[in-house]
Structure 1
């Protein structure tokens, strides 16, 4: 295959999936002739869509470099993802290595007896000297496998071409035994490829994915692709998703598709990744332009890249008629409730959390002292949307800002915070410097009732209260996974990692803990026995209270015409409530 098509590519990759049952493949990369004294060869240290350094090079063994006569070349490892090949004369260079691919959940590489998922960031080395040259990828796969990618197909079966490494690294390959459907929408071609058996309905997925793709045009005008590939993995537990310039990969446990809540999670994730085709893949903050695959790309606007994408994902479903207004507002309520139970909102702004994303961990410390580019970015995006609607008397929304970014800052350009504020002023006629300082560069504290009243909505937390210890157990364990900052347990000197033993001298179990808490009322003094660093201690806790019912968004009494008009301008729907405040059927 390589000899027949070598004239069409300057950098050629051959991936021989020779031991799929052992998650192994052999990768060979052929580089054009170089006159340099050494050729630098890299494997990225992170992948697009996940702002974290990953040990991707750990999957590489048996690295070999040869010249165009097939003679070995000397080389040395100079960084975790870098090899330096010494050259004594101009020559073409071929490198080969064994690849171990058993990292399905990271969405970089996975090979087994039924398929291979190959993201170039964890599979295909590149040389900075030839990063911008055309590439050809050829696969040698077991009989019966089919291969798919957002890249253009090559002349031979199981081969693909790309204009450069940047397109290659953003165009993963799915090859193996899978289910395939193709559909067209608005002049664009789409493929759905599902690997793994599960309780999904392929035909329903196609119907709704088509609706999602069409709903995108209520935000943007035009598409940055001609073909698009949805890759779905029905897994034994791995879950997550990653966006790419012409495709996405979505992973869910194989039996998490049928129930309404599960299906909405799937189709909402698909919408999120599809929104990314514009926001991040067609235009993105200048800190991410160009991608530097060997070190972090810092930006204080990751909240826009991710949080704004989260903000629009369910709007696509709502506008497409896939999600009901009730389901949409329930999701907004959950996000507000989560914010109110994240003490880190008082300490970290969305700009700061964007810069911190590359080193962000999780767990107790993160929730108590940090926020999240996704969840907090969603709320800032909603607040900005409402501000634009108010300032423009419903003529301009956050959708218009996204369209302007798509028009004015298409790659290879990148935008910064000043560019966004300038666009906001152009759209609304108002200066957003103070708004930006208050909502982006400062930890936010929204009056959500006031914010939502624009659209005729109010927060209903219910009147019922219940006992609250301000701590959570890890799954099926008595170890504390979270202790709410300044909550009851925190005030008692209890910390995450402590192991609960007894309440008021009576043994507690993971199953009995929640019920045991409700044996008390606010103000009660309770003795909490725990192991702290393997030492038994007892601490006195004063029980607090918390709302018993789930937070909900409801219609205000007697909503005005202006509020109903705002609701429609915001979400694209007529007022969904009856006079009694119930959702219309």
Structure 2
């Protein structure tokens, strides 16, 4: 009896907490959208947004300025027009108060209905596009969100245009209705693109997960072959992390005359492809590489992520120095996964891996911009290239893939082929995504590398991540009994150090840093009309008639005026590496090779 009062008090407090929580849930605003296409021929999406259960004095509606996975402020609000608001059947003011914000006074108002149009006519995997053939909703550029309510659920009701019959998205259905979808919060909504139309849909099971492939635009694809090979890739990637965290996953594929690119999402991806590319082996393998890349992201970046990439700030840049891991390692694994899935050969894999080295070494910007800086500057450089980008920067995809290979070989060498980068990825996934339920810092991933490499990597980071040191490729490839040799090492071909259009007029499109054109004043945009008075037809053939060190007069038209430029030809410094096996490989080297190439 002595403990009755404390127990009763605790019970009452607990009961009060439950009631308060229930009351809070009861008064939380409800958010829904209705999407229609009355002017689809003019590329408009009509959205009706209803927010009910309001208890506040004002409501601010915002549009994201970027979409996760594509690190560029795209200003999606530029596509919104004709926004109006009503309450109790009467129009109310909804002035625009910033580039992506509309303010609505809601004192005494419990429900607001907002209508607006979204112009959608940009073909890419990250932007919305609608016409009479289909609708693609890149949701971060379609749906406004209420400020302070990113954690609120919402429903989306789609009213299809005419004969559109199918919706493909990772969003869950409501009561089995494919045209009504629900999202638990805006991070999920903005990470779940929607395809609606008459797309060809097929499915398969892989790694215990139901997969759906939605093909828009037709094409010469073989469904049965795709099912078989995509399953192999999915299971090879799942083996890296030990689990596939989805219940279902959706591939949305846009097949066009010319297509490419992909954008990852939490439980889906959008891929661009050429509708006839499946018919050639190189085209088919290229598509599988895209599949492998974007699917690997469901772990690497969507769950195992840099700490700043979630929860997202949808109004500002989200800076990280770790896109070389998030994207570069994914580029490395897109080839490794195809190899381990037995989709292509070890020789083909090595050719692609050495191709990444060639890309890095032939780009002058790799000696100007450190890898970590390339990641940080993605927001202002990666998606805004200009004529000089080749000279000033490096892709965190390309160099990140190369660095991933170096670290993989380092770990395999130090463990005698017993462990690899796979073990690092699985450890980081388990520790940070599943265990700590957050992203990782730069220092934490470095510690993860060191845990499995069995050594400090300060020097590696100083040289190759934060610095500009020349990479000792043969040191790392030597761990697996390989070396690279330059097939162009003995050539002495003269060059102007410029790139030109290959068809029609010879217009300069790029001037190579420290090349003859760079030093002697050839500009991007110049039309090269003659060399030493001879009209230019085949520029390469004309240059090959000269020797390195020759001085030539290059006649150009610049801004409509003629100029004569004396230029001293230099040796073409381009490299073309290939991999060769070292003679008499040791038992340890062979063990590393077997682990790496799954021989």
Alpha-carbon distance change, 86 to 47 in structure 1, aligned in 2, over 3 angstroms: same
Say which SS state the counterpart of residue 410 (structure 1) adopts: helix
Residues 63-462 of structure 1 mapped to structure 2, 5 A cutoff:
63-67=83-87, 69-141=88-160, 142-155=162-175, 156-360=177-381, 361-410=384-433, 412-462=437-487
**Mapped contact 1:464–1:549 kept (Cα < 8 A):** no
Q: Distance in 1 between matches of 2:476 and 2:546?
A: 35
1:543 and 2:569 correspond = yes
How many residue pairs end up in the alignment? 565
Q: Distance in 1 between matches of 2:345 and 2:492?
A: 29
- Return the match for 1:27 from 21, 42, 47: 47
Q: Distance in 2 between matches of 1:77 and 1:278?
A: 38
What's the CA shift for 1:549? 8.6
Say which SS state the counterpart of residue 184 (structure 1) adopts: strand
| Range 69-78 or range 246-255, more displaced | 69-78
Say which SS state the counterpart of residue 269 (structure 2) adopts: strand
Alpha-carbon distance change, 99 to 241 in structure 1, aligned in 2, over 3 angstroms: same
Structure number with greater Rg is 2
Say which SS state the counterpart of residue 136 (structure 1) adopts: strand
**Can you list the C-alpha shifts for 1:224-268, whole angstroms capped at 9, x where unaligned?**
211011111111334211110011111122222211111111110
- Return the match for 2:75 from 44, 48, 55: 55
- Return the match for 1:556 from 582, 587, 593: 582
What's the CA shift for 1:541? 2.2
* Corresponding position of 1:580: none
Q: Distance in 2 between matches of 1:103 and 1:232?
A: 16
* Corresponding position of 2:511: 483
What's the CA shift for 1:423? 1.9
Alpha-carbon distance change, 107 to 453 in structure 1, aligned in 2, over 3 angstroms: same
What's the CA shift for 1:7? 13
Alpha-carbon distance change, 327 to 417 in structure 1, aligned in 2, over 3 angstroms: same
**Mapped contact 1:224–1:282 kept (Cα < 8 A):** no
**Mapped contact 1:530–1:537 kept (Cα < 8 A):** yes
What's the CA shift for 1:499? 2.2
* Corresponding position of 1:11: 31
What's the CA shift for 1:137? 1.0
State the TM-score, normalized to the length of structure 2: 0.90
Q: Distance in 1 between matches of 2:199 and 2:28?
A: 29
Say which SS state the counterpart of residue 401 (structure 1) adopts: helix
* Corresponding position of 2:16: none
**Mapped contact 2:353–2:402 kept (Cα < 8 A):** no
What's the CA shift for 1:430? 2.2
Q: Distance in 1 between matches of 2:193 and 2:294?
A: 14
What's the CA shift for 1:548? 8.6
Residues 37-56 of structure 1 mapped to structure 2, 5 A cutoff:
37-56=57-76
Say which SS state the counterpart of residue 481 (structure 1) adopts: strand
- Return the match for 2:543 from 517, 527, 534: 517
- Structure 2 unmatched runs, 5+: 1-25
What's the CA shift for 1:41? 0.7
Say which SS state the counterpart of residue 426 (structure 1) adopts: helix
Say which SS state the counterpart of residue 145 (structure 2) adopts: coil
Q: Distance in 2 between matches of 1:514 and 1:139?
A: 56
**Mapped contact 1:481–1:497 kept (Cα < 8 A):** yes
Say which SS state the counterpart of residue 301 (structure 2) adopts: coil
Say which SS state the counterpart of residue 358 (structure 2) adopts: helix
**Can you list the C-alpha shifts for 1:75-109, whole angstroms capped at 9, x where unaligned?**
22122221111222241222110121111225321
Q: Distance in 1 between matches of 2:452 and 2:259?
A: 42
Alpha-carbon distance change, 288 to 111 in structure 1, aligned in 2, over 3 angstroms: same
**Can you list the C-alpha shifts for 1:465-499, whole angstroms capped at 9, x where unaligned?**
43322111135342211111112222222232322
* Corresponding position of 2:22: none
* Corresponding position of 1:504: 532
- Cα-Cα RMSD: 2.1
Q: Distance in 2 between matches of 1:550 and 1:429?
A: 33
**Can you list the C-alpha shifts for 1:156-175, whole angstroms capped at 9, x where unaligned?**
34111111111111111111
What's the CA shift for 1:294? 1.0
What's the CA shift for 1:143? 2.6
Q: Distance in 2 between matches of 1:304 and 1:192?
A: 27
Q: Distance in 2 between matches of 1:85 and 1:106?
A: 33
Q: Distance in 1 between matches of 2:574 and 2:265?
A: 41
Q: Distance in 2 between matches of 1:124 and 1:138?
A: 12
Q: Distance in 2 between matches of 1:216 and 1:418?
A: 25
* Corresponding position of 2:23: none
**Mapped contact 1:237–1:252 kept (Cα < 8 A):** yes
**Mapped contact 1:364–1:482 kept (Cα < 8 A):** yes
Q: Distance in 2 between matches of 1:419 and 1:548?
A: 37
Say which SS state the counterpart of residue 279 (structure 2) adopts: coil
Q: Distance in 2 between matches of 1:181 and 1:500?
A: 52
Q: Distance in 2 between matches of 1:202 and 1:517?
A: 49
What's the CA shift for 1:144? 4.1
* Corresponding position of 2:18: none
Alpha-carbon distance change, 423 to 551 in structure 1, aligned in 2, over 3 angstroms: closer
Alpha-carbon distance change, 251 to 289 in structure 1, aligned in 2, over 3 angstroms: same
Say which SS state the counterpart of residue 244 (structure 2) adopts: coil
**Mapped contact 1:449–1:459 kept (Cα < 8 A):** yes
State the TM-score, normalized to the length of structure 1: 0.92
Q: Distance in 1 between matches of 2:486 and 2:544?
A: 19
